[in-house]
C-alpha cells in the first residue's frame, strides 16, 4: 500500500555504488504532493542531502533520476523524466530532462525515483527489472559511444525492450557539459553536465525494464481529457504543423525575429535557408518518431548517406536548439554538417547547446586573435568552418589538446584563455545560453539572469506569450504590450507554471504548443491521474515551491546576487534587431514578484514561510 491513489508508485530506489548496495524506500506522500515529482521531488532530496561542502565530483553528490506522476500513464505528451544533481558546470543546482521511453519504463519497473550516490571502484551498470536490482560490470562498455553501449547492453542482457540511460566518452572523460543519453543515444538529458557526474561515479548505464502498470485514480476522467487532447492535437493546424516540422520549424521564423543566435550572439547576418525547414533541412530529414505515447511525435530522424558528413542512417536529427547552436551560432549553414555534428554529440554524449555555445565562443576568440592555430592544435577555428567544428567536438569529448580546455565549458575556458575572453562566453552561471536571445523578449532578461540552472530555455521563457501570441490568461497574465512593465512578473509566473508541468512529467512542448488547449486541462489531468484536487492556483504554488527549493540550494551553496547576471554582450551590444536587454525595470520587478531580496537575491523569510518552507527559512536566515 503506497498511500497514493494514482500516478505515484510510492517507491524510491536508493543505490550506493561504492558499496554496491540498494534499498527501496517509500516516497512520502507529503514530499510528492508538495514537490509534484521530477526535479521538484528530486530537488528537495538534493537540498536535504547534499551540503555545500560536497562537490559535484564527490561520492556524496547524488544523481537522481526522477519521474513525475503522469509519466508511464496514458497521459498524452508526457514522456519526459528528469535528472538532478549538483552540477559540475555551475557548482550549484543542476537538472536536465529527456524524452523517450526511459521514464515510463522505470515506472513499469516499479519506481518513481532512483537516487544514486557513491562511486563504483570500476565501471558499473545498474539493471532494474521489475523491482529487482542488479549491479553489472560495465568494463566491456567503458570507452564505447553511447549508442554502441546501449545496444550492447540490450544484447548482453538478452532483451531488446530494455530502456537505457547512459553516457558516452564525454561523460567518462568528465567533460563538464556531458549529458545522459537514452533511447540508443537519440535523446539526451543534456544540460548542466550531469553526464560528467555519472562518469565520475563510474556508472556507465542505468538499464530499466518492467511489466508493472501505473495505477490511475480516475481512469474514466483521464480517458476523457486525453481523448480531447489527442483529438485537438490531430486537428489543430498549429500543432499539426509542429508534428510535421518538429522544432526545426521554428528556425526560420525565429531567425527572422532575431531570437536565434548567429556568430556567437553577434549582429552578423547569414542566410538561414540552408538550415530551415522547409528548406535545407529537407535534405537530411528521413522520418519522424514519437516519445512514449505522444500524439505529436516531433522527433526528427535524419540521414546523410554519403560524403564527409555521412553517419548511420535514420538516427535522431538535430532539433531547433542544435540547428541554431551548432549551425547559425557557429556560422555554419549546411544542414548536413549540423546533422553530422549532432550525431557525434549524441554518440559521445555531449549537450549540443553547450557544445555549440562553447565552440562559437572559441571561434570568436580565434577570429579576434585571442587564440591562434598554435593554441588550437592547428585547427582553423573560424566561424563557418564546419570541419573545424566537427574536429573540435571530437577533441572535446576526448579532452584532446585544446579540446581539454573547451571541455571545461566557455566560462572556465575563458578564464584559462584570459585576455578578456570572458566577454565572449555567452553563459549564465556557467551554462551556455540556449538559442533564444533575450534581447528579443523582455521577460528573458530577468528569466535568464536569475535562472537557477543557468542559460536554459525549458524553464519558462516568456517568448511564446510575449512574441508568439500565446495567451496566458489562465495564469493571470494580460495581453503583452511593448512596455517592459509586467514582464518581470510574467517571467515569474510562467516559470512557476513550467516547474509544475515539468515536475509532473509533461514534455514542455505540451504546454508551449498549447496541446492541452488551456492550462486548466493539465491540472484536470493531474487530478485524474493522482486523485488529488489541485486548483490551478495550487499548481502554481507548487511550481513556486519547486523554484524556491532549488534557489535555496544555490543560496546554501554560495550563490549571491552577483551570480544573477547576464553576459555583458547582451546588455551592451545590439543584436540583429538593434536591441539590448534592458534590466532596469524588469529585474527589480522580478525579485519583488518572487519575494527574493534584491540585494542578496535570497528568498525572504516570508516567501519561504508562505511556501511552507519553514525549515529552509531557518537554515538560510537562522
Query: Which parts of this chain interact with a second copy (CB under 8 A)?
Result: 16, 18-19, 51-60, 88, 90-92, 118-119, 121, 375, 399, 401, 404-405, 408, 412, 415-417, 429-430, 556-563, 597, 599-600, 619, 622
Q: In the complex, what is the shortest distance from the CB of residue 112 to a second copy, in angstroms, rounded to a whole number?
A: 22
Cα–Cα distance list, 170 to 165, 166, 190, 338, 534 (Å) = 14, 11, 12, 19, 42
Min separation Cβ 21 and a second copy, Å:
9
What is the DSSP annotation of 332-356?
---HHHHHHHHHHHHHHTB-HHHHH
Question: What cell does 566 get?
Answer: 547576464
- Give the residue with the Cβ less far from a second copy, 178 or 239: 178
By C-beta, is 196 or 542 nearer to a second copy? 196
Query: What is the closest distance, in whole angstroms, from the C-beta atom of residue 426 to a second copy in the complex?
Result: 17
Q: Which is nearer to a second copy, 204 or 412 (CB)?
A: 412
Nearest distance from C-beta of residue 599 to a second copy, angstroms: 4
Q: Report which DSSP code applies to 614.
A: H
Helical spans, DSSP H, in 181-322: 194-200, 219-235, 237-245, 251-257, 320-322
- 182 within 8 A of 67, measured Cβ to Cβ: no
Question: Closest distance between a second copy and the C-beta of residue 121, in Å?
Answer: 5
Toward a second copy, which CB reaches closer, 28 or 51?
51
Which of 342/358 has CB closer to a second copy?
358
Mapped onto helix, strand or coil, the DSSP state of residue 406 is: helix
Helix/strand/coil for 273:
helix
- Using alpha carbons only, what angle is made at residue 449 by residues 474 and 326, rounded to the nearest 5 degrees? 95
Q: Between residues 58 and 538, which has the closer beta carbon with respect to a second copy?
A: 58
**Taking CA 352 as the corner, what is the angle to CA 348 and CA 353, rounded to the nearest 5 degrees?**
150
Closest among 173, 191, 197 to 430, alpha carbons compared: 191
Q: Give the separation between CA 431 and CA 322, rounded to whole angstroms.
A: 15
Whole-number minimum distance, CB 127 to a second copy, in Å?
22
Q: Where on the phi/psi map is residue 326: left (φ > 0), alpha (ψ -120 to 50), or beta?
A: alpha
Rounded to a whole number of angstroms, the minimum distance from the CB of residue 60 to a second copy is: 6
Q: Residues 267, 569: contact at Cβ < 8 Å?
A: no
In angstroms, rounded to a whole number, what is the distance separating the alpha carbons of residues 146 and 152? 10
Which residue shows C-alpha cell 509542429?
242
What minimum distance in Å lies between the beta carbon of 557 and a second copy?
A: 5
**Spatial distance between the Cα atoms of 601 and 327, rounded to a whole number of angstroms:** 35
Query: Would you state the cell numbers that stand for residue 281, as one nine-digit string?
Result: 533541412
Q: How far is the CB of 423 from a second copy (least distance, A)?
A: 17
Residue 153 and residue 205 in contact, taking contact as beta carbons nearer than 8 Å: yes
Q: How far is the CB of 349 from a second copy (least distance, A)?
A: 20
Q: Which CB atom, from 57 or from 232, has the smaller least distance to a second copy?
A: 57
Residue with cell 486537428: 235
Closer residue to a second copy (CB): 62 or 284: 62
Strands 11-16, 113-117: pairing kind: parallel
Contact 509, 233 (CB under 8 A): no
CA separation for the pair 294, 397 (Å, rounded): 32
Q: How far is CA 603 from the centre of its chain?
A: 24
Q: Which is nearer to a second copy, 533 or 599 (CB)?
A: 599
- Taking the complex as a whole, the smallest distance from the CB of residue 33 to a second copy amounts, in Å, to 28
Residue closer to a second copy (CB basis): 50 or 514: 50
Shorter beta-carbon distance to a second copy: residue 323 or 428: 428
Amino acid at each position: 500500500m503506497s498511500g497514493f491513489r494514482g500516478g505515484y508508485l510510492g517507491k524510491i530506489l536508493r543505490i550506493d555504488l561504492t558499496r554496491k548496495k540498494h534499498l527501496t524506500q517509500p516516497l512520502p506522500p507529503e514530499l510528492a504532493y508538495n514537490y509534484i515529482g521530477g526535479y521538484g521531488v528530486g530537488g528537495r532530496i538534493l537540498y536535504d542531502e547534499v551540503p555545500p561542502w560536497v562537490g559535484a565530483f564527490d561520492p556524496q553528490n547524488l544523481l537522481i533520476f526522477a519521474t513525475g506522476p503522469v509519466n508511464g500513464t496514458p497521459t498524452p505528451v508526457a514522456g519526459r523524466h528528469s535528472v538532478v544533481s549538483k552540477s559540475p558546470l555551475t557548482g550549484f543546482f543542476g537538472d536536465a530532462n529527456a524524452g523517450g521511453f526511459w521514464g515510463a519504463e522505470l515506472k513499469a519497473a516499479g519506481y518513481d525515483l532512483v537516487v544514486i550516490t557513491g562511486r563504483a571502484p570500476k565501471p558499473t551498470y545498474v539493471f532494474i527489472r521489475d523491482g529487482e536490482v542488479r549491479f553489472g560490470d560495465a568494463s566491456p562498455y567503458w570507452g564505447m559511444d553511447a549508442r554502441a553501449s546501449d545496444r550492447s547492453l540490450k544484447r548482453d542482457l538478452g532483451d531488446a525492450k530494455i530502456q537505457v540511460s547512459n553516457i558516452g566518452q564525454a561523460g567518462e572523460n568528465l567533460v563538464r557539459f556531458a549529458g545522459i543519453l537514452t533511447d540508443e543515444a537519440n535523446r539526451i538529458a543534456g544540460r548542466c553536465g550531469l553526464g560528467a557526474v555519472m562518469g565520475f561515479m563510474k556508472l556507465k548505464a542505468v538499464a530499466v525494464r518492467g511489466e508493472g502498470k501505473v495505477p490511475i485514480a480516475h481512469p474514466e476522467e483521464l480517458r476523457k481529457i486525453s481523448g480531447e487532447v489527442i483529438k485537438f492535437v490531430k486537428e489543430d493546424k498549429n500543432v499539426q504543423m509542429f508534428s510535421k516540422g518538429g522544432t526545426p520549424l521554428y528556425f526560420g521564423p525565429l531567425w527572422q525575429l532575431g531570437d536565434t543566435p548567429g556568430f556567437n550572439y553577434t549582429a552578423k547576418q547569414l542566410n538561414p535557408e540552408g538550415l530551415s525547414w522547409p528548406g535545407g533541412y529537407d535534405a537530411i530529414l528521413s522520418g519522424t518518431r514519437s516519445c512514449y505515447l505522444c500524439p505529436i511525435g516531433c522527433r526528427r530522424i535524419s540521414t546523410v548517406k554519403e560524403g564527409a558528413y555521412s553517419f548511420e542512417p535514420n538516427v535522431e536529427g538535430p532539433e531547433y536548439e542544435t540547428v541554431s547552436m551548432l549551425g547559425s551560432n557557429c556560422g555554419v549553414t549546411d544542414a548536413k554538417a549540423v546533422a553530422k555534428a549532432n550525431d557525434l554529440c549524441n554518440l559521445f554524449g555531449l549537450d549540443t547547446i553547450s557544445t555549440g555555445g562553447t565552440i562559437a565562443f572559441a571561434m570568436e576568440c580565434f577570429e579576434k586573435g585571442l587564440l591562434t592555430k598554435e593554441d588550437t592544435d592547428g585547427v582553423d577555428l573560424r566561424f563557418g568552418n564546419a570541419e573545424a567544428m566537427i574536429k573540435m567536438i571530437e577533441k572535446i569529448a576526448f579532452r584532446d589538446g585544446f579540446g581539454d580546455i573547451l571541455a571545461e565549458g566557455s566560462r572556465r575556458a575563458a578564464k584559462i584563455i584570459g585576455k578578456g575572453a570572458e566577454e565572449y562566453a555567452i553563459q549564465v552561471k556557467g551554462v551556455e545560453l540556449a538559442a533564444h536571445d533575450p534581447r528579443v523578449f523582455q521577460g528573458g532578461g530577468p528569466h535568464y539572469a536569475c535562472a537557477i540552472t543557468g542559460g536554459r530555455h525549458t524553464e519558462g521563457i516568456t517568448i511564446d506569450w510575449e512574441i508568439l501570441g500565446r495567451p496566458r490568461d489562465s495564469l493571470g497574465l494580460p495581453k503583452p504590450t511593448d512596455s517592459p512593465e509586467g514582464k518581470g512578473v510574467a517571467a515569474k509566473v510562467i516559470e512557476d507554471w513550467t516547474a509544475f508541468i515539468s515536475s509532473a512529467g509533461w514534455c514542455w512542448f505540451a504546454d508551449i504548443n498549447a496541446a492541452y488547449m488551456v492550462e486548466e486541462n493539465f491540472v484536470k489531468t493531474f487530478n485524474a491521474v493522482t486523485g488529488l484536487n489541485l486548483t490551478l492556483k495550487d499548481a502554481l504554488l507548487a511550481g513556486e515551491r519547486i523554484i524556491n527549493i532549488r534557489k535555496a540550494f544555490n543560496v546554501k551553496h554560495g550563490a549571491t546576487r552577483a551570480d544573477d547576471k547576464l553576459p555583458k554582450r547582451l546588455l551592451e551590444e545590439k543584436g540583429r534587431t538593434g536591441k539590448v536587454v534592458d534590466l532596469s525595470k524588469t529585474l527589480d520587478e522580478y525579485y519583488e514578484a518572487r519575494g527574493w531580496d534584491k540585494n542578496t537575491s535570497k528568498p525572504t523569510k516570508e516567501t519561504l514561510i508562505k511556501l511552507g518552507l519553514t525549515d529552509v527559512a531557518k537554515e538560510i536566515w537562522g
